[in-house]
Structure 1
Amino acid sequence: MASSMRQDETLSLSEDLTCAICCDLFQEPVMLGCMHHFCRSCITTYWRDLRGPAMCPQCRKEFPKKQFQTNYLVAGLVEKVRASSSAASVRNLQKQMKDGLDPRKEQLIAMIRKDEEEMNTLRKIGADLKERVCHDFQALHHFLQVEEVAMLDQLRRDQMELEHSLERHLEALHTAIREPEQRVGSLQMTTSTLPELHSRPHVPGLSVDGFKSKYIAPLQYTLWRKMLKNLKPGPLPVTFDEDTVHPSLQLSRDRTQVVEAEAMLPYKPNPKRFVQCVNVLGAQGFHTGRHYWEVGVGTKPKWDIGVALETVNRKARVKLCPNNGYWTLRLRNHTEYSAGTQPWTPLCVTSRLLRIGVFVDCEERTVSFYNADDMSLLYSFSNGPKGKAFPFFSTCLSEPGQRAQPIYLLHFPSMAV
């Protein structure tokens, strides 16, 4: 309130100390005989241009001479008002700038805090991922080192055994040579003994080629098959669940292929069966751990693949999205790949996908899809299933005239080595 009153008083005084000619605060104020004040330069210029006797531009009083008197008191007041007005203007401008900048400053501070939090989160995730990668590779390195030591030890023992056998073989051959030589030397050889020499049993030879073949076999493939036993998670041997398959779909005997049937099949009634859409679940469910499986889709023009909660509605036709309990990847029109979000998320896929890898981490609640041919990531859901879930598949209905093509589950080779 006091500040406002001071500003009003300053404004009123400024009006009293304003030159009537230039309408600005006095510059070197002078007083005429009529007691009116003007700037020295303003009244001088006015009188110079004036024709006739000198007069006051404000009250029109004439003067015998062009005379004025410097008013030092008014000059001092003008300087005080000018200084006060300048300071007030500066303060007012500063306040306006502060009022305008404070909200923006708060926004920037909030953005900085958010970025710092994201940076800390990113660094934590990066450290966790680095630890996980190092741990996984350490396990692989350890496995390979153990296998290398074991194989080199086996190679050494096989070589020693073969060398000992060869030494015994050589000794037997030398003995076989010495015996007839000794007989000839003692003149005990007769023509009757010659057939006996020719009929001596041959000393069996040893297979060096067999020894070589054992260790030039496809070593990397052999180790890969051994390594499959140690994969965590190991490839999930998924099979289709006959209790859930739509009646328009036919399963292979081993339940690893599903294809549209030519006519509805008489499956037994089951509350778990899909009745509206041509869907089927995998028989293997999970609610903890990490799981990976691969699906072959060949050249099918459309399909849906992913994960579904155990609780999904199997009697209605619903959109395949997380809100309805589905996390899927889909293909339409041969080339249009998208993730099952709300709305769909189009994917940039440069070449046809023949095999799809599906990875589920129940603890992290992530569902990720990969091109199984090169393991490039296609899409990842970060809000994965919470509760028991199953592999999900939909062949989609073929267009009229199109040949029905199967979806098949890829199982890795036997683990036996």
Structure 2
Amino acid sequence: MTVITPLCHSSDTLEKHQECLKKQREAVKYRLKKLAARQSEIAKKSSVIRESIIRKYQEIQAVLDEDLRITLSHLEMEERAAISALDGLMEKNCSLIQEIEQDLARLSVTLDQTDTEPDTMVIKLDVARVVDLLNRTDPISVSLDEVKADQILSLTNNMLLLICSQTPIIKNLIKSYSSEVCLDPETAHPKLIISPKGDSATYTNTWQQLPDLPGRFDTTLNVISLQGYSFGRHYWEIDVTGKTYWELGVTYPTIPRKGTTEDCWLGRGDESWCVEFFDGEYTAWHGGVPHQLPFTRRFCQIGVLCNFPAGLVTFFEADKMTPLFSFCAGTFTDCLHLALCPGHDHNGTNSKPIVICNAQSRTSDFGLVAPQKSI
């Protein structure tokens, strides 16, 4: 006997599957809605922060403008007083000239009418009158308060120095996140020479006889820091002066280190983020995706900021803190290490080391995790 499976059983299964798919669709739609709401929330928060900062800068400018107005009004008042005083002295001199002209006219008439000698007493009085006026109208008697002016200039210069010491504000803020690191020689490719202090890596064409440790890069010219960080904000500056090729960034300790797999290169896999300088061009890398950067000038120092709360890795031109590129990872899934690649020497054009510019150590309370010697 042939048993026929009821169609209702198959229909029930399909209906359940259909209902499951509908629930999944609704869950994804709800997540999409939440993501859009979060996007809008972040945009609004960013706008509020931006407007608040703009207002503060405007308030600073208003304070400076008002102080400048008051200072100039004082100087203008003193200038007007001095000019007015000189006008008065000049008027007295003009009046005396008119009197002398009148006396000369009268004397000329008298001389024409008589041959007698003029009254010597009158002449003596005229001379005394002139001497007295000249003494009372000495230009040196009227002057600006130059000592006060010098004090104003000194105070404004001090204000300028203070402002310069506090700006760029972002530079001072980011530098406050500086964390000291040193390179782990046990991770360095055998063609890299790591300085005794662990603050520089130099390419050598000689393959050094080093232990083939599990954590050592054997193909890519990489080295990572001994220290790793799991939370907080951390900033490093790397000196790349005189180099024509380099790569630098941050990486999880799980980055592949053996063989020719592309993920061993910084930024080519999901474990690392980097900026590369090669052949005069800057490129940001993560997950194997290149981002060409619109810069042509050869920078001397590159800043790297790792921001765990925001899930950001940001690269800067360190002198003026000009942002080069920022990666948003959302949430980091592991601790991060500084990673460097000084590159080949390129026939001597890239022989200089890549150097970490360490700041005073602040790592004890800022997410430092135990050094990891290998993956």
TM-score range, shorter chain: 0.5 to 0.7
Deviation at 1:171, TM superposition (A): 1.3
* Aligned residue type for 2:308: C
2:193 maps to what in 1? 249
1:152 maps to what in 2? 62
Correspondence for 1:173 among 75, 78, 83: 83
1 CA distance for matches of 2:207 and 2:35? 50
- Partner SS state of residue 69, structure 2: helix
* Aligned residue type for 2:72: L
- Partner SS state of residue 332, structure 2: coil
1 CA distance for matches of 2:86 and 2:278? 80
Deviation at 1:165, TM superposition (A): 2.2
Cα distance, 1:184–1:327 mapped onto 2, change above 3 Å: closer
The answer to whether the aligner puts 1:307 opposite 2:247 as a matched pair is no
2 CA distance for matches of 1:408 and 1:122? 45
The answer to whether the aligner puts 1:289 opposite 2:235 as a matched pair is no
Correspondence for 1:111 among 14, 17, 21: 21
- Partner SS state of residue 190, structure 1: helix
Q: Within 5 A, what are the aligned runs for 1:63-82? A: none
Give me the CA root mean square deviation.
Answer: 5.8
Cα distance, 1:104–1:156 mapped onto 2, change above 3 Å: same
Give TM-score scaled by structure 1 length.
0.48
User: Which string of whole-angstrom CA distances, capped at 9 and with x for unpartnered residues, describes residues 273-301 of structure 1?
Assistant: 96857433458753212456677879856
2 CA distance for matches of 1:142 and 1:384? 29
Cα distance, 1:260–1:287 mapped onto 2, change above 3 Å: same
| Greater RCO (CA < 8 Å, at least 6 residues apart) | 2
* Aligned residue type for 1:162: L
2 CA distance for matches of 1:177 and 1:410? 64
2 CA distance for matches of 1:114 and 1:367? 31
User: Which string of whole-angstrom CA distances, capped at 9 and with x for unpartnered residues, describes residues 58-101 of structure 1?
Assistant: xxxxxxxxxxxxxxxxxxxxxxxxxxxxxxxxxx9xx64x5555
1 CA distance for matches of 2:304 and 2:28? 28
- Partner SS state of residue 164, structure 1: helix
1:65 maps to what in 2? none
Correspondence for 1:120 among 30, 39, 52: 30
Whether the 8 Å contact between 1:283 and 1:390 is mirrored in structure 2 is yes
More deviation, 145-154/396-405: 396-405
User: Structure 1: where are the runs of 5+ without partners?
Assistant: 8-91, 266-270, 412-417
Correspondence for 1:200 among 136, 140, 145: 140
User: Structure 2: where are the runs of 5+ without partners?
Assistant: 100-127, 359-375
1 CA distance for matches of 2:43 and 2:16? 40
Whether the 8 Å contact between 2:182 and 2:226 is mirrored in structure 1 is yes
The answer to whether the aligner puts 1:386 opposite 2:334 as a matched pair is yes
1 CA distance for matches of 2:76 and 2:342? 63
User: Which string of whole-angstrom CA distances, capped at 9 and with x for unpartnered residues, describes residues 360-401 of structure 1?
Assistant: 45357x565779887666x655673434x3222233555778
Cα distance, 1:352–1:286 mapped onto 2, change above 3 Å: same
Correspondence for 1:362 among 305, 308, 311: 308
Deviation at 1:195, TM superposition (A): 7.9
2:222 maps to what in 1? 279
1:142 maps to what in 2? 52
1:79 maps to what in 2? none
Whether the 8 Å contact between 2:193 and 2:204 is mirrored in structure 1 is yes
Whether the 8 Å contact between 1:289 and 1:361 is mirrored in structure 2 is yes
* Aligned residue type for 2:288: P
* Aligned residue type for 1:118: V
Structure of greater Rg = 1
2 CA distance for matches of 1:359 and 1:155? 35
Identity among equivalent positions (%) equals 11
2 CA distance for matches of 1:254 and 1:170? 67
Whether the 8 Å contact between 2:179 and 2:234 is mirrored in structure 1 is no
Deviation at 1:109, TM superposition (A): 2.9
* Aligned residue type for 1:394: C
Whether the 8 Å contact between 1:249 and 1:258 is mirrored in structure 2 is yes
2:289 maps to what in 1? 347
2 CA distance for matches of 1:128 and 1:118? 15
2 CA distance for matches of 1:121 and 1:347? 26
Cα distance, 1:275–1:301 mapped onto 2, change above 3 Å: closer
User: Which string of whole-angstrom CA distances, capped at 9 and with x for unpartnered residues, describes residues 304-337 of structure 1?
Assistant: 632244xx799x7476499x994345879979x8
2 CA distance for matches of 1:383 and 1:105? 38
Whether the 8 Å contact between 1:278 and 1:396 is mirrored in structure 2 is yes
Cα distance, 1:203–1:249 mapped onto 2, change above 3 Å: farther
The answer to whether the aligner puts 1:190 opposite 2:133 as a matched pair is no
1:226 maps to what in 2? 169
Whether the 8 Å contact between 2:252 and 2:334 is mirrored in structure 1 is no
- Partner SS state of residue 130, structure 2: coil
1 CA distance for matches of 2:181 and 2:76? 56
